[in-house]
Structure 1
Amino acid sequence: MYEYDFSKYTGRDIDRNGKFEVNINYYWEGDERWNPFFIEVAGKLVGFIVFLFENMDTDPDPTHVIYDFMVLQKYRRSGIGRKAAIEAFKMYKANWKISQMESNLPARTFWRSVIEGFKGTNYTEHYVQDRKKYIQEFSTRD
C-alpha cells in the first residue's frame, strides 16, 4: 500500500504479477540501525514509522532519520499522524532529520507543520538539489 501511495511521486510501476517489488526484511533481521514501529489506534493498525540510526556503525550518537512514515488514507487529516510523529520524537533524545521528495508537497506541508508545532522555529531546512529533496533538522536533546 505504501508503494502504491508513493508511486505518484516515484513513478514506480507494478510488476507482471501486479505487485510492487519491495524487500523490507532488513527492517526485522537484527540490524540495530533500523527501528520499525506500527501505529495503532484502538487496536487497529493504521500505519507505520521507520527510524534509521544514521552512521550508527561509526558514530556513538547517531542522527535519527525518519526513513519511512505512512498513515492509511482513511486516517489521514485526523491528527493520528501528527500524534505518532511527536511521540516518535519524544522516544529519543537525539538529533533528527526528515526528508521529503521535492514533488511531494503534502509531505513537506505535513512535516513542516508537525515540526513547527513541536519545536517552533527551532529547526533548519535546506534543499538538496542533486537529490531533489527538502530536509528538516532539529534536536530533542534540550
Structure 2
Amino acid sequence: MKVELKQVTADEKEILKNLLEKYDYEFSQWDQRDVNKLGLYGYEYLDYYWTEDKRWAYFILVDEKLAGFAMVINLPEVDDRPTDFQMAEFFVMYKYRRSGVGKEAFFKVLDNHKGRWQLKRHPANLASVHFWNNVIHEYTNGQYELVEAYPRTEYDDGTLADVFFFEC
C-alpha cells in the first residue's frame, strides 16, 4: 500500500469540498452541528487555502486513490501559546482506517511542516483520541504536552477541546 500526500490545486477544490461534507457529517455526531438550508455543512474557510499564504490542503492518496485529506494552517488553535502550524482538519475514509494510512499521512505532513504545532481534538471522539495519542506520542518520542479541556476552545456543542503542543 503506497500512501502519498498531494497538494490540492484550485482546480481540485470541488473534490476537497465534497470530502469535507463527508468529514463534517461524521464529525456532527460529536459537535452536534446542523446542516444549512441546502442540506450541506459547508466549510467557510475553503477558499482561503488558495487566496492566503500559510494554508496547505493535501489529499491523502492510497495507491493513487483518494483516501482522505489533511489541512494545515499557521494560525494558533489557542492564542496564548506560540505556534507555527496547526492541523485544521484531518480525515481518513473508513476503508483506510486502522491500516496505518492515517499515521503515515500524518507523519508526512509533519515532515513537510517542521516547527511548533498545536493540534485540537474533541474528547468524545474516542477513535480520534486513541489515534492522536498514539501517533503524536510515536512521532515525538513522547515529547509533547496535552492539555485537556483547554479554555476558550469550545466546539459547536460547547465541549472544550483537548489540545496537543509539540515540536518536530
TM-score computed with the length of structure 1 as normaliser: 0.85
Which amino acid in 2 is paired with 1:105?
L
Output the CA distance in 1 between the equivalents of 2:96 and 2:48: 24
Output the CA distance in 1 between the equivalents of 2:132 and 2:46: 27
| Aligned residue runs from structure 1 range 1-142, under 5 A | 1-54=22-75, 62-127=83-148, 128-131=150-153, 132-140=160-168
Q: After superposition, give the CA deviation of every residue in 1:8-35 in whole Å (9 maximum; x if it has no partner).
A: 0111223343322333432433211211
Structure 1: 5+ residue stretches without partners: 56-60
More strand by share: 1
Output the CA distance in 1 between the equivalents of 2:26 and 2:102: 15
Output the CA distance in 2 between the equivalents of 1:27 and 1:70: 19
Structure 2: 5+ residue stretches without partners: 1-21, 77-81, 154-159
TM-score computed with the length of structure 2 as normaliser: 0.73
Q: After superposition, give the CA deviation of every residue in 1:107-129 in whole Å (9 maximum; x if it has no partner).
A: 12101100111112111111214
Q: Determine which structure has greater relative contact order: mean sequence separation of CA pairs < 8 Å that are 6+ residues apart, divided by chain length.
A: 2
Output the CA distance in 1 between the equivalents of 2:69 and 2:48: 12
Q: Is contact 1:27–1:36 with CA below 8 Å preserved after alignment?
A: no
- 2:50 partner SS: coil
- Range 66-75 or range 26-35, more displaced: 26-35
The alignment-based identity, stated in percent, is: 26
Aligned residues: 135
- 1:113 partner SS: helix
Q: Is contact 1:27–1:35 with CA below 8 Å preserved after alignment?
A: no
Q: How has the CA–CA distance of structure 1 residues 54 and 25 changed in structure 2, closer, same or farther, with 3 Å as cutoff?
A: closer
Q: After superposition, give the CA deviation of every residue in 1:40-98 in whole Å (9 maximum; x if it has no partner).
A: 1111011000111126xxxxx95210110000111111110000001111112211111
Output the CA distance in 1 between the equivalents of 2:38 and 2:139: 43
Moved over 6 A (4+): none
